[in-house]
Structure 1
């Protein structure tokens, strides 16, 4: 079983962490290499575990334990990581990702806060039919927007595409059915969709099913180091706001 009981604590064999090592508030980057930097904006931070693609750091924000856990790439990896963390007691999640732009006039330094996602993947179908929307939590989205505004950082709020095939977007002419792929991209662009990534729709659907909160914030592909610094600041401030609101203050 992925979750075991060790000394009256829940333990995740997949993540290599126990319930007392994970905060209720969690940032979810895909890339394990980004975990230490994201966590550096926490207080009292320390490395917890490293297993497969999952690197875990935990610290505090406003006195509340919070963690950063890498998921790896794609919706199946997101689903597995999220389910494990929920079973360990986490309840608030922010996906911190890299995405490709769909609106080509978007400033590449802008951060993209996703309030909903097109379910252009198959993992979330195991949880809900395609007619069920992939929508972020209002409080988490509001916290991200407020944090970005307070820090005077450029950002946009909108819809993303979550897909299974990376090269279906980046090399559509090399794919079978290239015409349909190109037409889909044009349709998304005309409809105002902002970006394309590979995880957030499954995060939103599972969070709805499991009655937890989730939001997403994306950097555009090829982001500069300062963009990672900016998104890290926004995420830390957003979690601080959520902790404050949850305390009723």
Structure 2
């Protein structure tokens, strides 16, 4: 039995942060960062049966072309991803009445639609890009015991050699191959760099001195023997991939490129690019 302090439920039986009961969540879940983006996704649903929220965690569940979907906002960063992924798994795989793991553990599909900045000159603003791998420059996975695939271990070794001046070791997450094939056959793919902040951790200096002032240039020059390189920078994907793989869920991240860090350019029509990413994903579900 899971202790009450390990899995906290609200008075109505919903899970602590997401404010959801198991029946509120579909088994195909779209993650967005911004809570205001949830209705921008769910407006395309045929029907909406659940509208719930707490803090930055807003969920709409409904039907689209006969398929039940949930869209859920995570807020920003892998600290929030830690909450969201653990609570999604509990909603799916824990009996809330007895607080015992279900005998038949189940898997869900998790598709992130997020915004991102490119760090390669050949990826223009407005591109939709799929994350084949993600490198976590945060410390989230230092707190979990998890096995990694041979490909993930090999990539982690290459990243640690290239970024040898870091005071921490980045971790690797990978997309689910089936979802990558279903949603990203025609999209450019790459390695996504996940940072634990927007300013210093992404190489920005407004009124600060950065510990790693050449971070973007260093990331831009990374390439493996197989020709894989770091394409873009954001704040959630590595945590989504690593935790999803740990739990046995299938995950994929689709990035709407709104900025070019090399060209110092920001998108003139971000709402249109984000909407195109939403429609792209929904049309392939």
Q: CA deviation at 1:125?
A: 2.2
**Alpha-carbon distance in structure 1 between the residues aligned to 2:222 and 2:196:** 16
Q: CA deviation at 1:123?
A: 0.7
**Alpha-carbon distance in structure 2 between the residues aligned to 1:220 and 1:47:** 30
**Alpha-carbon distance in structure 1 between the residues aligned to 2:203 and 2:217:** 14
* Structure-2 residue corresponding to 1:91: 108
Q: Do 1:160 and 1:195's aligned partners in 2 also have CA atoms closer than 8 Å?
A: yes
Q: CA deviation at 1:61?
A: 3.0
SS in 1 for 2:135: strand
**Higher helix content, 1 or 2:** 1
**Alpha-carbon distance in structure 1 between the residues aligned to 2:117 and 2:83:** 24
The 5-angstrom pairing of residues 93-108 of structure 1 reads: 93-108=110-125
Q: Do 1:103 and 1:189's aligned partners in 2 also have CA atoms closer than 8 Å?
A: no
* Structure-2 residue corresponding to 1:145: 184
After superposition, the CA RMSD in angstroms is 2.6
Q: Which moved more, 1:63-72 or 1:85-94?
A: 85-94
* Structure-1 residue corresponding to 2:195: 163
Equivalenced residue count is 230
- Match for residue 54 of structure 2 among 29, 51, 54: 51
TM-score by length of 2: 0.73
SS in 1 for 2:221: helix
**Alpha-carbon distance in structure 1 between the residues aligned to 2:58 and 2:213:** 39
Q: Do 1:172 and 1:182's aligned partners in 2 also have CA atoms closer than 8 Å?
A: no
**Alpha-carbon distance in structure 1 between the residues aligned to 2:195 and 2:275:** 26
SS in 2 for 1:133: strand
**Alpha-carbon distance in structure 1 between the residues aligned to 2:111 and 2:37:** 14
* Structure-2 residue corresponding to 1:133: 172
Alignment deviations for residues 129-152 of structure 1 (CA, whole Å, 9 cap, x no partner): 894631010111112114xx4xxx
SS in 2 for 1:57: strand
SS in 1 for 2:199: helix
Specify the structure having the higher radius of gyration (Cα). Answer: 2
Q: CA deviation at 1:62?
A: 3.8
The 5-angstrom pairing of residues 87-236 of structure 1 reads: 87-89=90-92, 91-127=108-144, 128=146, 131=153, 133-146=172-185, 149=186, 155-168=187-200, 169-172=202-205, 174-188=208-222, 192-221=229-258, 222=267, 224-236=270-282
Residue ranges of structure 1 left out of the alignment (5+ in a row): 150-154, 241-249
Residue ranges of structure 2 left out of the alignment (5+ in a row): 93-106, 154-170, 259-266
Q: Do 2:111 and 2:251's aligned partners in 1 also have CA atoms closer than 8 Å?
A: yes
**Alpha-carbon distance in structure 2 between the residues aligned to 1:234 and 1:79:** 27
Change (3 A) 1:103 1:44: same
- Match for residue 30 of structure 1 among 25, 28, 33: 33
**Higher strand content, 1 or 2:** 1
Q: Do 2:203 and 2:212's aligned partners in 1 also have CA atoms closer than 8 Å?
A: no
